[in-house]
Structure 1
Amino acid sequence: MDKLSQAERFCWKFIQDNFAKIPDLTITELSELANVSTATIVRTVQKQGYTGYTSFKQSISNQSHIMKPFSHLEGEPALVKEAVLKNYWEVTHTINQLNVKDALKAAEAIAKADKIYIFARGLSELLAEEVSIKLALLGKTCKKYTDPNLIRGIAQRARPEDAVLFLTLNGETKELVEAAKISKDLKSTNIVITTNRDSSIMQYRDIALIGFKSRNSFLPDYEVHSRLPLSILCRILVDILAIKIND
């Protein structure tokens, strides 16, 4: 994960403090106002998940009417605003980049599956528990596994008529990647829910739902990033499944 340098943190704080002005500023104008280089601005917004300043500015412009309810944050400390707004960005960007056809395919695969295995590690285990309960309430035979040794072994039980759901924020957890390869070789349907489209586990997916993860964390020394993007995708998936089953 890319961390902001001191100059980039200053740049991001300036952007947050002058959020409403961004749609009207060129990168050169912002550079002069913030007293940072245009290269620093580009690196800063890229580390926030954008391709560059133009895409960041366009995103702000497109959603400026949505940002009006946050006018009460003006004047608050930059870090407080960041703590609030990063949740907003994770939800809105996750929904904006959602491929609905893939969500429908995932729901269809789960609806048809004889068994559903859910594999997750770390904080994603809490989400796996929630999803397994909801799938059971919908009448699906579902089991979740979070122990690394069990995950590898259970993956070997997967069959072509089964679906395997992987909940992984970064898509690089070793035992999940290994399990995905095993179940892929056994022809089961692998459904990956992650925020990293370039992760190792993606090479073994049949269907993937990709969320947006904020790059900033107030606990940078620990892997405790919010699972909010995964939670949103799981909720959408389960709701679509419920509609399909109850239709």
Structure 2
Amino acid sequence: MEYRVINILQTRELKVKFTKSEESILDFIEENFEKIPEYSVIKLCEEAYASQATVNRVCKKLGFKGFSELKYSIEQDLQKMKNSKNSSINNTFFYIENINFQDLKPIVEILKKNRKVLIYGLGASEITALYFQRQLLYLGFQAIVVTEEKMIEKFHDFILFIISSSGETLRVKHVAKSFKDKGKVVISITKAGSSLHELSDCAFTHNISIDKLDAISREQQLHMIIMINELINKSRIG
């Protein structure tokens, strides 16, 4: 997203040179960026201790005809910034609203009874698995990230925690079934109603339609990180 004014003020990457008095006006505008659209040129001069001629030179050096055009561009920047912030907030709320937090209690109880945990995740979920491992280690768990089924076979007294946003990856389903067939406990963070959900003894689930997302969005792990953080917090104080 392109901003016409705020980026210039923050980087000061300009071909023209500014005097010290002009630089002080730039500093004032940057520090009071959200208020500037409400200012008149007279008020700006009074509060920035500058002359109107100096303000006009600054506006022209920034590429504007005058202060009115500068204010208009600042208003546009502020609107873009607001829209971008709202978009990020709405995106996060969307994920939160589609997480089934009621699933947490039984998983926390299992984790507290079985403090030896194997964590399995593929692709982007492997990064989340490493994050989960670090958090569990801080809580004193024996937590090991495994990436191959042969590794999993070597641990006999561990529970398996699988992280898979879709819950439909063939390798993930195979690992879950194989572990379950040995009579061992499988916990997961995955999509509600997925194959992995059905194979798990206990699952912390979300309702996000992964198959409807584009390739980049499918790889994103924001909802999984939110779920991991909530699980860790409950394990710590629950």
TM-score (norm 1): 0.56
Per the alignment, residue 49 of structure 1 pairs with: none
- What's the counterpart of residue 210 of structure 1? 205
Shift of 1:220: 2.1
Q: Does 1:92 align with 2:97?
A: yes
| Amino acid in the other structure paired with 2:97 | T
Which residue of the partner structure matches residue 123 of structure 1?
124
Report the counterpart of residue 63 of structure 1 in structure 2: none
User: Which sections of structure 1, spanning at least 5 residues, go unmatched?
Assistant: 1-72
* Residue 155 of structure 1, CA deviation: 3.0
Cα separation, 2, equivalents of 1:84 and 1:216: 23
207 and 221 in structure 1: CA distance in 2 versus 1, 3 angstrom threshold: closer
Q: Is the 8 A contact 1:118 1:143 kept in 2?
A: yes
Cα 1:76–1:223 change in 2 (3 A) is: closer
Q: Which residue among 145, 148, 152 is the counterpart of 2:149?
A: 152
* Greater Rg over alpha carbons, structure: 2
SS for the counterpart of 2:98 is helix
Residue in structure 1 matching 2:192, options 197, 221, 225: 197
Deviation, 1:223, is 6.3
Residue of structure 1 equivalent to 2:232:
238
How many residues are paired up?
Answer: 161
Letter paired with 2:196: I
Q: Alignment partner of 1:109: what SS?
A: helix
Q: Is the 8 A contact 1:91 1:228 kept in 2?
A: no
Q: Which deviations, in whole Å up to 9, do the C-alpha atoms of 1:20-54 show, x marking residues without a partner? A: xxxxxxxxxxxxxxxxxxxxxxxxxxxxxxxxxxx
Is the 2:120–2:162 contact (alpha carbons within 8 Å) kept by the matching residues of 1? Answer: yes
Aligned to 1:226: 220
Asked whether 1:184 is paired with 2:175, we answer no
Q: Distance in 1 between matches of 2:189 and 2:109?
A: 15
Matched-pair contact (CA < 8 Å) for 2:118–2:143:
yes
Q: 1:103 corresponds to which residue?
A: 104
Which has the higher relative contact order, 1 or 2, with Cα contacts under 8 A spaced 6 or more apart? 1
- Answer whether contact 1:107 1:237 (CA < 8 A) is retained: yes
CA RMSD of superposed structures (Å): 3.1
Any gaps of 5 or more consecutive residues in structure 2? 1-77
Map of 2:28 onto structure 1: none
CA distance in 1 between counterparts of 2:115 and 2:214 reads 41
* Separation in 2, partners of 1:125, 1:234: 13
Identity %: 21
What secondary structure, in the 3-state scheme, does the structure 1 residue paired with 2:101 have? coil
1:154-212 deviation digits (Å, cap 9, x = unpaired) = 332454x4221111010011211111011111222211101x22222223100011124
1:175 aligns with 2:192: no
CA change 1:204–1:137 in 2 (3 A) is same
TM-score (norm 2): 0.58
Q: Distance in 2 between matches of 1:179 and 1:235?
A: 25
Alpha-carbon offset, residue 93 of structure 1: 2.9
Contact 1:152 1:178 in 2 (8 A): no
Given the superposition, is the C-alpha separation of residues 118 and 221 from structure 1 closer, same or farther in structure 2, using an over 3 Å criterion?
closer
**SS of the residue 1:118 aligns to:** strand
